[in-house]
Structure 1
């Protein structure tokens, strides 16, 4: 598909195959000049890749080749298939879990960027689930530097009050019954975007467990957490009711081969009224949060 220029950046909507051949919708952002870094941006649960467009363009303007993409069953990866047929418009009957997102989609995205940009450092930006997924990847050793943004072990008891009680009620008393009834989790129930049934059900099990995904006895990919040895910075937003400092610390505790740096940022630190779980990616933070993130990703800090 033809690309379009924007702010000195070449932007191309593409697809690439997941590990099992399922086609994932993606966008590649390239600088007009020399490329100095490769950056993979990995989405939060039920958040489409378009949310990260501004940050991706900003990084590309600074000389990074950047890829954003949608996990299977979401966004532009909702219906695509390598074998030539579309998945049904409804997600009912669509088989996927969060573990699949990591093992099949994120793993393939890392491999695709590593193969395409063999001579560049590969850096990883993970928002919420995107940060959690880093520890689950069999190929996370390919990543040089990882910046986790509002990424946490999201057990409900570590969320801020009263949000924790709203989440508990929304997931168990609204989300679970609706998902069983419809065969998928509808975004209009408060999730953001529709989610495949398996994704939602696994997420609920993790959220209801004291140590989130670390308590899942069937999640064999947990063995990959200690394999990551690259630089790791986790950004905790002080007004984020989901990714609180204790929840961020719990996730980071899984990366035992290095010492993750956890940086807490309050809205006042960057002259903002609020940031929250999604606000980091608003363009108003271009000269504050984005600049600091880019400098760290590029190894200038």
Structure 2
């Protein structure tokens, strides 16, 4: 890992609350330090990568408390949401004594391949092979294994946002998780959504996203999705949203057999 740099900051914020100092690899000065309202302890942040189950490299960030670690926490993103969105939450947890990992699924954020032309520009997702079920089987499974191996003596807590929560049941190693907190991870069948949101989702997926994915070879984020999505991910997601039992109607989804083996606490 790259050596961390640390810069002094006042012990209190302008509003009078205690705050943590968050430092990360490559910071050039105090302006590049993110400050989160939390505890007094320092939090160190490392941008790293780890291999998925098929050795594809995934971009990730590890948040570490200076004091003794009491829990390991894995934060699993929603569909089309990069890990940076959870940075403040991860820093807060680290300030409370947790070792926290955030990461991007393949094709998203720092897990997207770089273009050979231009400086650090993302490569087009046209032709990039990935699916939502592969996100679970290859990426999330590897993230659980990475945290379990690194923090063998700590309880492993799983935070799942939307798809990140739905993926838990699909994992072959979900029994390694001690506790799970699922946020907005309900069944995504479009008719279960409140009106008029259900009609907006139906129209966006079928009349905007699907034609664009077929035309461009991926689903562009500017269509209202968030981040760009690989075509295979988008198409599988649409098929689930249009199915009455959501992903449970997908006969090809081998990970469904793993749901019963999770026996941890859940909220």
TM-score, normalization: structure 1?
A: 0.74
Partner of 2:134: 100
CA offsets per residue over residues 168-217 of structure 1, 9 Å max, x none?
00100000000000000000001001000000000000000001101001
- Aligned pair in 2 of structure 1 residues 4, 174: CA closer, same or farther (>3 Å)? farther
Question: Is the Cα–Cα contact under 8 Å of residues 24 and 72 in structure 1 kept in the other structure?
Answer: yes
How much does 1:3 deviate?
A: 3.4
- Residue 164, structure 1, aligned to residue 198, structure 2: yes
Which of the two has greater helix per residue?
1
CA distance in 2, matches of 1:170, 1:204: 10
Partner of 1:61: 95
CA distance in 1, matches of 2:227, 2:121: 17
* Within-5 A mapping of 1:149-228: 149-228=183-262
- Residue 130, structure 1, aligned to residue 164, structure 2: yes
CA offsets per residue over residues 139-195 of structure 1, 9 Å max, x none?
000000000011111010111110000000010000000000000000000100100
Partner of 2:4: 3
* CA RMSD in angstroms, aligned pairs only: 1.4
Q: Structure 2: 5+ residue runs without aligned partners?
A: 7-21, 23-34, 36-41, 115-119
SS at the partner of 1:41? strand
SS at the partner of 1:57? helix
Partner of 1:31: 65
Number of residue pairs matched by the alignment: 228
CA distance in 1, matches of 2:56, 2:186: 28
How much does 1:4 deviate?
A: 5.0
Q: Structure 1: 5+ residue runs without aligned partners?
A: 81-85, 234-301
CA offsets per residue over residues 103-138 of structure 1, 9 Å max, x none?
000000000000000110111000000000000000
TM-score, normalization: structure 2?
A: 0.83
CA offsets per residue over residues 210-256 of structure 1, 9 Å max, x none?
011010010011000111000000xxxxxxxxxxxxxxxxxxxxxxx
